[in-house]
Amino acid sequence: MTTRNAMLRAAAAWLRKEGCDSAELDARVLLKHALQLSDTQLVTMRDEPVDVEGREAFDAMIERRIAGQPVSRIIGQKEFWGLVFHLDPETLVPRPDTETIVEAAVEACRTAPGTILDLGTGTGCILIALLTEFPAAVGVGVDISDDALACAASNADLNGVAGRARFVKGDWGSDIDELFDLIVSNPPYIPHSDIAMLDREVRVHDPMRALDGGRDGLDAYSCVAGDAARLLSPDGVLVVELGIGQEAAVAAIMKDAGLEPDVPARPDLSGIPRALVVRRENPLGNHTLND
């Protein structure tokens, strides 16, 4: 009977042959999931034999990986902010770059927010991460997809914040009529003409509605800016994720909506401006009451 170690070596070799850059890591993650192993069991019990059912489950996962499916889609979950999130075909896979939004929001809030709004919530990862950082806060996640909302609600329950989060269907914030101390959003920002150049794992397996930002990638920012101008509390903060090279254009959209962006934007781990913090514009501008 084939052992775990033999299966792992064979799968990694197969993945390498098919051009997978992370063959060993992918094989380990998939084997762990297929056989429902802990990290310790994966390392210390490599010579354990694997039954036919386990081999078939693992082989099926490797075949899906070779066909171009991301590991996170195959196992149905992804880690973000140290938390685990279930995925759905209607949700983006949470990415490390998006953790920059959480970092910027935590830093930008002068006092702990009591209310948080997440526009385009997807898996709920940003909102749920923030609710773990602000244990007294309550939050609302908005999405146009029923399946995404169900996924986000299950993730809130999985991560212990279901009692402080609610998820509602809507077109951005158009159906919301309450004020929030913190608003966050990771809108679709890929220019339509760039979609065809995305990696296959993204282009084929992430929902197009969450990727395509229109002709210049900026369509959704006008909606977010208009809603934030209406829904931010007087001292509220908006944090939005940016695509590459979009900082100036998004900052201009925010200013047109009567909001004041903090520039420069917070960079991600690659040094790319990624999280733009926006506040209510001072109605007096740079003037004093005596001017």
What's the length of the chain? 291
Distance between CA atoms of 61 and 71, rounded to whole angstroms? Answer: 9
Q: CB-hemisphere CA count at 13 Å for 226?
A: 10
pLDDT at 287: 36
Number of other CB atoms surrounding residue 196 within 10 Å: 7
Q: Is 40 labeled as ligand-binding?
A: no
List pLDDT tens digits, range 168-212: 999 999 999 999 999 999 999 999 999 999 998 999 999 999 999
pLDDT at 169: 98
Q: Is 262 labeled as ligand-binding?
A: no
> 3-state DSSP helix/strand/coil percent for the chain, to nearest 5?
45, 20, 35
Q: What residue ranges of the chain have pLDDT lower than 50?
A: 284-291
Q: Is 186 labeled as ligand-binding?
A: yes
Q: Is 221 labeled as ligand-binding?
A: no
List pLDDT tens digits, range 5-20: 999 999 999 999 999 9
pLDDT at 282: 63
CB 154 within 8 A of CB 109: no
Sign, Cα dihedral of 37, 77, 7, 26:
negative
Q: Is 121 labeled as ligand-binding?
A: yes
Sequence ranges of the domains in the chain: 4-75, 88-280
Q: Is 124 labeled as ligand-binding?
A: yes
CB 62 within 8 A of CB 108: no
Cis peptide bond upstream of 267, omega within 30: no
Q: What CATH number labels 88-280?
A: 3.40.50.150
Same fold, 4-75 and 88-280: no
Amino acid in position 86: H
Q: Is 94 labeled as ligand-binding?
A: no
Q: Is 122 labeled as ligand-binding?
A: yes
pLDDT at 286: 42
Q: Is 191 labeled as ligand-binding?
A: no
What's 4-75's CATH class? mainly alpha
In degrees rounded to 5, what are phi and psi of residue 148? -65, -40
